[in-house]
A = this chain, B = another copy of it.
Amino acid sequence: MTDLSAAGAGDRARAVSVKDVAAEAGVSVGTVSNVLNRPEKVSTSTREHVLAVIDELGFVRNDAARQLRAGSNHAVGMVVLDVRNPFFTDVARGVEERLAEHRRPLILGNSGQDADREQMLLDLFEEQRVSGLLVSPVGGVLPRLRRLRDRGTAVVAVDRRLDSSEFSSVAVDDRLGGRIAVQHLLDQGRRRIAFVGGPRGLTQVEHRYEGAAAAVADTDGATLRLVVTGIMDAAAGRHGAEDLLADDGDRPDAIFAANDLVALGVLQALTLAGVSVPDEIAIIGYDDIDFAASAAIPLSSVRQPREQLGAVAADLLMATIEDPTRAAEDVVLEPSLVVRRSTQP
């Protein structure tokens, strides 16, 4: 139609810019920008004409340029502990859905519970000047988060609170969750409890352990044994269970796995070793991921309201983006017990 299109397919044409649109439409670039950003400022006829040209030329706004002027990216970054764990992807989906209502894209990064990868992702998000950041911190990132905040990025901690009252957080009460899980095992008459989870230093896990210990302390004759794992996946559960079985002087009669992936691994190892679940050893997991219900022996678990966790996190983040001076707030959600066959014949 115009000479511009002669550059056409084949050779990697320079992208169409506002300038091209303006030239073709016979208006100034400012007007093109206004059509895009404040359409009410432009007369109907100009607007429609410009829109038609945009469509004809296949113009797509360059977000980098826009951001550079606007000062910040409208995307939100999220650092997730483990993308392969359905619990986290469910939380992320809760976030994503809420953010979609504000037309803000979510950029997901996976720390894999590794402090170095977490750093790299924070670098990336800082370079990108994301407007908001959701983290489940692994390493000591407080100074880092402060710098991000000072630079104008809203920060909200997900799934644990920070050791500081400067940032909002949403978390589930893990001490209560740990207590609920073990209290249930004790109520079933179990006394020799083993806790399988890790790694050491991961707050969520430590709290679950503390809750477990509190429940055990309240019960005569009950004992709690700790098996520390690395990243909590099924393999960690298998190894943990094998360790417990190898040492057969004092076999537990119940295992509390710090998440469902570990519980599933424990279940596999016990089944393979011919140990009957729950008769000889009961198992309870944590998170209540969808797969818990369809496990070989349906798994009892402590349910975390994961979609709600995501939604509340997104809400807090949006509120902080809109008002950076907003007071920090720690939201604590409650876990609940889900009983299935792995703890109850």
Contact = CB atoms under 8 A, between A and B. Distances in A.
Given A12-B324, A294-B296, A110 B93 contact: yes
Contact of A110 (B96, B124, B267, B296): B96
A84 B289 CA distance: 11
A198 interface: no
Contact of A84 (B15, B93, B107): B93
A327 interface: no
A163 interface: no
Interface stretch (A21-29, A39-47, A62-70): A62-70
Contacts of A253: none
A60 interface: yes
Given A63-B127, A67-B64, A129-B64, A152 B12 contact: yes
Number of copies of this chain that the complex holds: 2
Q: Which of A67, A86, A96, A108 has the most CB of B within 10 A?
A: A108
Given A83-B93, A124-B105, A294-B267, A62 B68 contact: yes
Contacts of A64: 63-65, 67-68, 73, 128-129
A336 interface: no
B264 A62 contact: no
Contacts of A107: 107-108
Given A15-B151, A68-B65, A150-B13, A84 B73 contact: no
Given A290-B234, A296-B295, A147 B58 contact: yes
A190 B73 CA distance: 57
Contact of A129 (B62, B150, B293, B324): B62
Interface of A: 9, 12-13, 15, 58, 60-68, 73, 83-84, 86, 89-90, 92-93, 96, 105, 107-110, 121, 123-124, 126-129, 146-147, 150-152, 234, 264, 267-268, 290-291, 293-298, 324
17 contacts: A15-B129, A15-B151, A15-B152, A60-B123, A64-B68, A64-B73, A64-B129, A83-B93, A84-B89, A84-B90, A84-B93, A105-B121, A264-B291, A264-B294, A267-B294, A268-B294, A296-B297
